[in-house]
Structure 1
Amino acid sequence: MMNLNLIKTDPWLEPHAAEISRRHDKYLRKLDEINEMHGGLKHFASQYQWMGLHAENGEWVIREWAPNATAIYLIGDFSNWEPRVAFQFIRKDRGIWELFIPFEFLKHKDHFKLHVFWDGGNAHRIPSYARRVVQDETTKVFDAQVWSPDQPFEWTDSPFKLGSDDFHPLIYEAHVGMASEEEKVASYTEFIENVLPHIQSLGYNTIQLMAVQEHPYYGSFGYHVSNFFAVSSRMGTPEELKQLINTAHNMGIAVIMDIVHSHSVKNELEGLSNFDGDRTQYFDQYDHPAWDSRCFNYNKDEVLGFLLSNCRYWIEEFHFDGFRFDGVTSMIYHDHGLEKDFTGYDDYFHGVCNEEALCYLTLANKLIHEVKPNAISIAEEMSGYPGLAGSIEGGGIGFDYRLSMGVPDFWIKLIKEHADENWNVGQIYHELSQHRVEERTISYAESHDQALVGDKTIIFRLADKEMYDHMSTGWRHLVIDRAMALHKMIRLVTIATASGGYLNFMGNEFGHPEWIDFPREGNGFSFKYARRQWSLVKNPDLRFKELNEFDKSIVNLFSDERLLTKHLQHRFDNGPDQVLAFSRGDYLFVFNFNPVQSFTGYGIPVNAGKYKVAFTSDDEEFGGFNRIEKGQMYYTQAIESGQHQLLLYLPARMVLVIKKQEIKRVY
């Protein structure tokens, strides 16, 4: 049994050491097998360079994996969309089919499909490695499309570097299609022109793009993927997505992708399901009970190669800087973690795990960092599986970060179930700062999940219907004042206690007032709620701009000062007063969550020195009451035992951000 660092770090794992080592050995054996049979992991993940449609030696070649097929034909206008002998594939080894055809039969933007035959049936299929899939506006049918522009895309982002090993992502989660104020599907080009400058001004250093992989149903938010190598054509061409990433890189902003390898859409005409007449070609026998989708079989080398190749493809072809892996909990448990409480370590190690999925994720993380050493990999995982974001060498799965999915749940529960005067500041600090010792996490107060119909954003929970009539700067309203004060405090305490990175969904920074509801039969296929109302933040007569300015200040502070690289130090919490203080580097954060009581001369223990107010949530530009002068200087006072403290004025519902000043000595 290996002596893994994961177990050294967490002695409570010792009773499960043998199981952890066995699972780690399973990964090592698979890696050795890949190295021996395929010449290395990176080469094993190069299948996208060989499978699918390519130009080779002056002609087209297309290859497909379909072991259950009895015949495959390429069909299109060139064949009158019927199977013809001239376009029949030849079966090769290991279920691979291959067809060579002259260039004259296919040109850029031509549509094509496969006609696959098997014992007892046949159907049209889109090639599994198709790089471009488009939908006919009239028939709504999807076709593969030849994508071979005369001129390759010219990248100009070579100076961009993701950052050093201590890079901490400040993530702006975005959905390009709903990023316009117009009631339509927005484009990659419009995102470049209208949204990238906004993100840059806010100080975020990373963009997380949703819904990149092609999906037949727009309302799935991109999570029911049909074509894993195809850029969603609703929002533009592959070159336009490349230009978005290229432009972001030239702004100094990394771009990661919300990648879906946890399941696939059930659609047979558009996706992989029943591709060659065998429902288990890519997938398990049973469908996902909650998502109505197909679950990958990670025990097959062909599936591993397909998914690993997909990771390499998006990094190398589109210069993505990493991935947020969706649905990891669903992947790593045979029961998908549904309706299950994980209350102890036994829940992770008593036969419930999908070990093939754990092996795949470990291989994926090794590959991603082999292809791009400073890439970012994030796990959307809620069970708390030990070592998920621990190093592979130490026995972990190798993710760089785990999403702190409990944080938004905590805020929802606190707002819904507890009156403001009962908020426990010690509990707030504990819930926001806790994490496994071997892991870094991405903290967030709310993501796209909290903005969907059926849920509520924080600002909507706090202000509700009053947002529609009382967001004018011309007068004050008690409900809005409370909502804005707590919105600012919640977001700042969440980023300030983060143990790795921070995430915000687009529009939440300025308190976007309405939910997200994609076009569907139930709303008359309307785009009214599948958009972002940027005009609200640009309107000088509305208070949304004040929330936006506050978000800009806190994100730029953490970006410019690299505060997430600094040690988080708890200073003080007083439950009855609802006052919380902690520091990072030279910055002290003092929160007074008390809804009614302000304090004067309030003592906060700190290191001796001089301190200056950087800003407060009460500043007038942030919609506050300006009760503390910006730039005000404080000097510590000595107390017993050689300790020092600051005596501060702390207005109700306010956070004070203070910076320790360097004292210049005169000799």
Structure 2
Amino acid sequence: MPLNILDYDPYLEAFKDDLSARLFDFARTKKRLLGVDGSLCDFANGYKYFGFQQEMKHWTFREWAPNAQKAWLVGDFNNWENNFELKEAYGGVWEISVPGMLPVGSKVKVKLTLTNGETVYRVPSYILYTLPNERHELDGVIVNPQHEWKHQAPKLAEAPLIYEAHIGISTEEYKINTYKEFTRDVLPRIKKDGYNTIQLMAIMEHPLYASFGYQVSNFFAVSSRFGQPEDLMDLIDKAHGMGLRVLLDVVHSHAVKNVGDGLNLFDGTTSQYFHEGARGEHSAWNTKLFNYGKDEVIHFLLSNLKFWLDVYRFDGFRFDGVTSMLYHDHGLGTAFTDYSKYFSLNTDVEAVTYLMLANELIHQINPDATTIAEDMSAMPGMALPISAGGIGFDYRLSMGIPDFWIKQLKEKSDDTLDLMSLWWELTTRRPGEKNIGYAESHDQALVGDKTLMMWLANEEIYWKMDVNSQSLKIDRAIALHKLIRLVTFSLAGEGYLNFMGNEFGHPEWLDFPREGNNDNFQHARRQWSLAEDENLRFKYLAAFDKDMVRLEKDFKFLAKTDQLQQVWVKNSDKLLAYRKGNLLFVFNFHPSYQEKLQLDWAEKPELVFDTDDRKFGGFGPRSSFGWSKGQLDLILEPRTAMVFKIH
């Protein structure tokens, strides 16, 4: 297989052998798993074999527990008695056929006798639904979700404009929201705002609500906090009917430590799913780490991906914690300052191979699926095709950009904004790889940090956001919030991501109800009414975001990175101008001064967007432009930007 990655990035020539080894290990692993003629799509069918399989006149149940000596299926359907004993089959698999029909809704567990004689109870590893019991543990629940699908998934004919959403916090009420209410109340908002893709967080079942869904216990189960499996199916179906694609925020980088609820010590051994010893522990996250070199683990995880694509019809995945997977030290404390850091003994080759297998499988099942990698290390080839020597993701997240903005707002003054550093941060990519740009995501909203609007407005967001109040701090906050989003939107990627509520400057932070805050829902909800109140300035930011997104729909410039040209940059005046596609962007980041700019321009441009427009909370139109005989004269007010259509 040719290493076309070297054509994209000649600096990788010194690591040609490492890249070849990457491809060799991928091919060798595939051959080991599939033989000569097998396919990943056929291999990843664990969810059709394990767990509860409904036949014509009976249920078949299978579980993999190689260290078990005996196994029973117990539940409220048989009074938790030992009358449903499983038989041992090949390779540590246990199975039973139950005549008649097990009642849907029954609570169930697998009872195992281990080699040391201990008896344990486990939630089945392929369970589709769980509920907490009176001991604050999870019980498996037998479900047979059925949905009459009405809509085909839409094709993505434009850049992905992603609305990152969490079902539970999507209500303004002091409660956990549901799939049904999200479908009714939030889907229309997302559609109206112009986004074309939803990225759903915290769908895979997790015992701790405050983990934001990133400590998964049951990989095939939808979170029961939000409703029934059929409710999620209906949500995705209705989203498709609105022309919205739906991505799952999938967590294969680690698993919760809970014993009994999830996979940890399932058959009494650490090594069933995870690495032994320190390699199986994530010291920072206090979670368990998968053994990506073990065939049964690869089978489990790949089957999980196919399950979400097949049964729930997700349109792809955002892979969480990819950096943690790639390196034995999980990227903690490592500065990726040169290429040798990516091809060292610190690199987990088995994890790299698993990610390549995952991407090949996903695109085999659905060639239109979208995969996005959350990797802060900037591993070369992450978003290049496997055939070119890459890892196969469609996009990587531009993770350094939110950090750039937070550092600017937290540690520096407005007049010290370095436009060359900003340009470099927003436009530097791995050659040939596509990015999803964003100014902030859920990470910047978590308790202990602040959203961009909170950094900008601080306490005045509570009492100076009404339309009649006079506040220089709020004026600055609104103006910069718009500039930050517009320059990031237009430069930082071939797609864009926004976290739910940030489009209108949602105040405060995210903090889930927990013991430390007396189970308070104050910060675990979205105050939609703020953006709908005609007397509050949040409406201006909402209108701005909607029209900014509309720019992409009208001009389709995000993907035109090859048509990006810096036209003007002058740090002392805080002026930045660039063209991308058939748009010209002109920014004045200066906090105080009106700035003038003259550009040689063959044809008269057409103003299509002005951040200073009064409908966006500005004071304009104040900035002005004139064109005569091939010269464009611009006068920009402080903290404003204009966008022109050019020919």
Q: Does the pair score TM above 0.5? A: yes
Find the partner of 1:447 among 441, 448, 469.
441
Q: Does the 8 Å contact 1:536/1:542 carry over to 2?
A: yes
> 1:453-487, CA deviations, whole angstroms, 9 ceiling, x for partnerless residues?
10111111111001111001012210000011000
Task: Give the distance between the partners of 2:429 and 2:600, measured in 1 at CA.
Answer: 25
Q: Does the 8 Å contact 1:69/1:118 carry over to 2?
A: yes
Task: Give the distance between the partners of 1:599 and 1:331, measured in 2 at CA.
Answer: 48
**What is the aligned partner in structure 2 of residue 92 from structure 1?**
89
> 1:282-341, CA deviations, whole angstroms, 9 ceiling, x for partnerless residues?
001131101100000011111000000000000111110100000001001111111111
Task: Give the distance between the partners of 2:639 and 2:301, measured in 1 at CA.
Answer: 49
Task: Give the distance between the partners of 1:500 and 1:28, measured in 2 at CA.
Answer: 30
Task: Give the distance between the partners of 2:258 and 2:137, measured in 1 at CA.
Answer: 12
Find the partner of 1:135 among 105, 122, 132.
132
Q: Does the 8 Å contact 1:262/1:295 carry over to 2?
A: yes
Q: CA deviation at 1:634?
A: 4.3
Q: Do residues 392 (structure 1) and 386 (structure 2) align?
A: yes
Task: Give the distance between the partners of 2:484 and 2:247, measured in 1 at CA.
Answer: 25
Task: Give the distance between the partners of 2:104 and 2:626, measured in 1 at CA.
Answer: 68
Residues 323, 69 of structure 1: alpha-carbon distance in 2 compared, 3 angstrom cutoff? same
Q: Does the 8 Å contact 1:471/1:480 carry over to 2?
A: yes
Residues 119, 34 of structure 1: alpha-carbon distance in 2 compared, 3 angstrom cutoff? closer
Q: Does the 8 Å contact 2:2/2:389 carry over to 1?
A: no
> 1:575-631, CA deviations, whole angstroms, 9 ceiling, x for partnerless residues?
11100011222211100001111024x21344x1121211211000110001348xx
Q: Do residues 609 (structure 1) and 603 (structure 2) align?
A: yes
**What is the aligned partner in structure 1 of residue 591 from structure 2?**
595
**What is the aligned partner in structure 1 of residue 230 from structure 2?**
239
Task: Give the distance between the partners of 2:130 and 2:599, measured in 1 at CA.
Answer: 60
Task: Give the distance between the partners of 2:142 and 2:271, measured in 1 at CA.
Answer: 28
Residue type of the alignment partner of 1:5: N
Q: Do residues 574 (structure 1) and 566 (structure 2) align?
A: no
Task: Give the distance between the partners of 1:365 and 1:314, measured in 2 at CA.
Answer: 14
SS at match of 2:5: helix
Find the partner of 2:221 among 230, 234, 240.
230
Residue type of the alignment partner of 1:127: P
Task: Give the distance between the partners of 2:347 and 2:465, measured in 1 at CA.
Answer: 49
Task: Give the distance between the partners of 2:314 and 2:453, measured in 1 at CA.
Answer: 32
Match runs of 1:123-202 below 5 Å: 123-136=120-133, 138-148=134-144, 152-158=146-152, 160-164=153-157, 167-202=158-193
Task: Give the distance between the partners of 1:180 and 1:391, measured in 2 at CA.
Answer: 39
Residues 100, 326 of structure 1: alpha-carbon distance in 2 compared, 3 angstrom cutoff? same
Q: Does the 8 Å contact 2:316/2:362 carry over to 1?
A: yes
Q: CA deviation at 1:560?
A: 3.2
Task: Give the distance between the partners of 1:656 and 1:366, measured in 2 at CA.
Answer: 42
Match runs of 1:364-513 below 5 Å: 364-513=358-507
Task: Give the distance between the partners of 1:409 and 1:78, measured in 2 at CA.
Answer: 53
Task: Give the distance between the partners of 2:90 and 2:443, measured in 1 at CA.
Answer: 45
Find the partner of 1:655 among 629, 641, 645.
641
Task: Give the distance between the partners of 2:544 and 2:398, measured in 1 at CA.
Answer: 23
Residue type of the alignment partner of 1:70: Q
**What is the aligned partner in structure 2 of residue 553 from structure 1?**
547
SS at match of 1:564: coil
Q: Do residues 326 (structure 1) and 323 (structure 2) align?
A: no
Residue type of the alignment partner of 2:221: A
Task: Give the distance between the partners of 1:271 and 1:604, measured in 2 at CA.
Answer: 62
Task: Give the distance between the partners of 1:586 and 1:388, measured in 2 at CA.
Answer: 29
Task: Give the distance between the partners of 1:615 and 1:394, measured in 2 at CA.
Answer: 40
Residue type of the alignment partner of 1:472: D
Runs of 4+ in 1 over 4 A off after TM superposition: none
Task: Give the distance between the partners of 1:650 and 1:393, measured in 2 at CA.
Answer: 48
Task: Give the distance between the partners of 1:612 and 1:633, measured in 2 at CA.
Answer: 10
Q: Do residues 585 (structure 1) and 581 (structure 2) align?
A: yes
Q: CA deviation at 1:555?
A: 0.8
Task: Give the distance between the partners of 1:500 and 1:615, measured in 2 at CA.
Answer: 20
Task: Give the distance between the partners of 2:548 and 2:377, measured in 1 at CA.
Answer: 30
Q: CA deviation at 1:433?
A: 1.0
**What is the aligned partner in structure 1 of residue 16 from structure 2?**
17
Match runs of 1:349-364 below 5 Å: 349-364=343-358
Task: Give the distance between the partners of 1:39 and 1:494, measured in 2 at CA.
Answer: 44
Task: Give the distance between the partners of 2:70 and 2:622, measured in 1 at CA.
Answer: 77
Task: Give the distance between the partners of 2:68 and 2:629, measured in 1 at CA.
Answer: 81
Task: Give the distance between the partners of 1:261 and 1:406, measured in 2 at CA.
Answer: 22
Q: Does the 8 Å contact 1:610/1:633 carry over to 2?
A: no
Residue type of the alignment partner of 2:592: V
**What is the aligned partner in structure 1 of residue 513 from structure 2?**
519
Task: Give the distance between the partners of 2:622 and 2:113, measured in 1 at CA.
Answer: 75
> What TM-score, normalized to structure 1?
0.94
> 1:401-432, CA deviations, whole angstroms, 9 ceiling, x for partnerless residues?
11111000111111122211111222211111
**What is the aligned partner in structure 1 of residue 614 from structure 2?**
620
Find the partner of 1:537 among 521, 531, 534.
531
Task: Give the distance between the partners of 2:135 and 2:376, measured in 1 at CA.
Answer: 40
Q: Does the 8 Å contact 1:473/1:542 carry over to 2?
A: yes
Residues 58, 605 of structure 1: alpha-carbon distance in 2 compared, 3 angstrom cutoff? farther
Q: Does the 8 Å contact 1:133/1:144 carry over to 2?
A: yes
> 1:501-548, CA deviations, whole angstroms, 9 ceiling, x for partnerless residues?
110100100001111100111100111110001111111000000000
Task: Give the distance between the partners of 1:465 and 1:97, measured in 2 at CA.
Answer: 59
Residue type of the alignment partner of 1:34: L
Task: Give the distance between the partners of 2:212 and 2:639, measured in 1 at CA.
Answer: 36
SS at match of 2:645: strand
**What is the aligned partner in structure 1 of residue 38 from structure 2?**
39
Task: Give the distance between the partners of 1:79 and 1:453, measured in 2 at CA.
Answer: 45
Residue type of the alignment partner of 2:484: I
Residues 461, 107 of structure 1: alpha-carbon distance in 2 compared, 3 angstrom cutoff? same
**What is the aligned partner in structure 2 of residue 55 from structure 1?**
54
Residue type of the alignment partner of 2:347: C
Q: CA deviation at 1:102?
A: 1.6
SS at match of 2:632: strand
Q: Does the 8 Å contact 1:76/1:111 carry over to 2?
A: yes
Residues 47, 583 of structure 1: alpha-carbon distance in 2 compared, 3 angstrom cutoff? same
Match runs of 1:45-124 below 5 Å: 45-84=44-83, 87-104=84-101, 106-120=102-116, 121-124=118-121
**What is the aligned partner in structure 2 of residue 664 from structure 1?**
none
- The count of residues paired between Structure 1 and Structure 2 equals 641
> 1:136-190, CA deviations, whole angstroms, 9 ceiling, x for partnerless residues?
3x443311111125xx3011112x33225xx421110000000000011000111
**What is the aligned partner in structure 2 of residue 635 from structure 1?**
627
Q: Does the 8 Å contact 2:604/2:632 carry over to 1?
A: no
Over the residues paired in the alignment, what is the CA RMSD in angstroms?
1.4
Find the partner of 1:217 among 201, 208, 215.
208
Task: Give the distance between the partners of 2:402 and 2:569, measured in 1 at CA.
Answer: 22
Task: Give the distance between the partners of 1:320 and 1:78, measured in 2 at CA.
Answer: 33
Q: Does the 8 Å contact 2:495/2:559 carry over to 1?
A: no
Residues 280, 37 of structure 1: alpha-carbon distance in 2 compared, 3 angstrom cutoff? farther
**What is the aligned partner in structure 2 of residue 204 from structure 1?**
195
